[in-house]
């Protein structure tokens, strides 16, 4: 155990009696934070449910305008990143400093891939005018796609409330994307702490908590993906 000159553990904070107590508190705190995150997103899911039941046509057409291939690719990327996050935790717990660092880097890389794909999706939507709410003004290729999607799904004309759909699409995926960025930042921080040798078999709590957060980000996407991309 790493200790200072007075027999005090380096990682055990002064107000805890035992490492187990400190770990228990950290874990409970993190789960409460995740509960808080779920309720934060719950407002968006409720709004989604209300407007989907009011404007089913707009939702079906809107969903067809999203690129499900990109969505599927991103889902795979995030699932894989959750796996690498777990492996980072495992490596930290077994005291394999090098593997921990590499798995953290892999997770950050996959998160970056997710954001790049998201960038291309957003870019296309901006170009053809699928903007949220009052800025919704599809033109050129965008209009053609809408008409095609409407025909495919048996909807008459261009649904007015596509703007509501895209409003929620951008808010939901935007806030999720923000969480991905925060996750990348925190994992970079963990990577740096790991590089400095702060984690060991005895103490890997921060890596574990970061991974818990990352799984939440993943799970929220698992719900966003079918609700936005795959409805009929």
Partner 1 sequence: MTVEAEAAIHADPHHIPADADYLTYERGWKSWLTTVDHKRIGVMYLISILLAFFAGGVFALILRTELLTPGRTIMEADTYNEMFTLHGAIMVFLFIIPSIPAAIGNFVLPIMLGAKDVAFPKLNLASLYIYWVGAIFTLVAITQGHIDTGWTFYTPYSTRADNSAIWMTIGVFILGFSSILTGLNFIATVHTMRGPGMHWRRLPLFIWGTYATAVIQVLATPVLAITLALLAMEKIVGVGVFDPALGGDPVLFQHFFWFYSHPAVYIMILPGMAIVNEVIATFSRRKIFGYMFIAMSSVALALLGFLVWGHHMFVSGQSEYATMVFSALTFLVAIPSGVKIFNWLATLYQGSISLESPMLYSLAFIALFTIGGLTGLFLGTLSTDIHLHDTYFVVAHFHYVMVGGTVFGFLSGLHYWWPKITGRLYDERWARVAFSLVFIGFNVTFLSQFVLGSRGMPRRYYSYLDQFQPLHMTSSGGAYVLGVGFLVMAVMFAKSLKSGEKAGRNPWGSAGYEWQTSPRPHPHNFAEQPVFTRGPYDYHLASERELFTGTDAEWDTHVAKKAEA
Q: Site for partner 1 (CB under 8 A): which residue of 158, 175, 186, 212? A: 175
Alpha-carbon gap, residue 227 to 229, rounded angstroms: 6
Residues 6+ apart with CB under 8 A from 227: 45, 48
Window 15-54: residues binding partner 1 (CB under 8 A)? 15, 21, 24-25, 28-29, 32-33, 35-37, 39-44, 46-47, 50-51
Q: Cβ closer to partner 1: 111 or 168?
A: 168
Region from 105-113, 133-141, 148-156, 222-230 binding partner 1, contact rule CB under 8 A: 133-141
Cβ atoms 168, 66 nearer than 8 A = no
Q: Site for partner 1 (CB under 8 A): which residue of 99, 117, 171, 219? A: 171
Long-range contact pairs involving 120-124 (C-beta distance under 8 Å, separation at least 24): 120/70, 121/66, 121/67, 121/70, 122/170, 124/67
Q: Cβ closer to partner 1: 118 or 163?
A: 163
Cβ atoms 160, 57 nearer than 8 A = no
Which positions touch partner 1 (CB under 8 A)?
A: 6, 8, 13-15, 21, 24-25, 28-29, 32-33, 35-37, 39-44, 46-47, 50-51, 55, 132-135, 160-161, 163-164, 167-168, 170-171, 175
């Amino acid at each position: 155990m790493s200790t200072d000159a007075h027999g005090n553990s380096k990682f055990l904070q002064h107000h805890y009696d035992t490492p187990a107590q400190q770990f228990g508190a950290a874990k409970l705190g993190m789960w409460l934070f995740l509960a808080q995150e779920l309720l934060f997103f719950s407002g968006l899911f409720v709004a989604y449910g209300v407007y989907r039941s009011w404007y089913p046509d707009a939702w079906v057409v809107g969903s067809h305008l999203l690129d499900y291939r990109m969505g599927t690719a991103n889902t795979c990327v995030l699932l894989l990143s959750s796996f690498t996050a777990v492996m980072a935790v495992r490596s930290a717990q077994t005291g394999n400093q090098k593997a921990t660092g590499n798995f953290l880097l892999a997770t950050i890389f996959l998160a970056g891939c997710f954001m790049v794909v998201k960038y291309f999706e957003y870019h296309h939507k901006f170009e053809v005018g699928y903007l949220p709410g009052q800025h919704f003004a599809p033109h050129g290729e965008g209009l053609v796609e809408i008409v095609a999607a409407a025909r495919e799904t048996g909807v008459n004309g261009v649904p007015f409330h596509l703007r509501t759909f895209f409003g929620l699409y951008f808010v939901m995926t935007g806030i999720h994307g923000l969480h991905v960025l925060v996750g990348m930042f925190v994992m970079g921080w963990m990577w740096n702490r790991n590089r400095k040798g702060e984690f060991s078999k005895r103490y890997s709590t921060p890596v574990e908590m970061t991974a818990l957060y990352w799984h939440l980000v993943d799970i929220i996407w698992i719900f966003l993906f079918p609700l936005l991309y795959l409805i009929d």
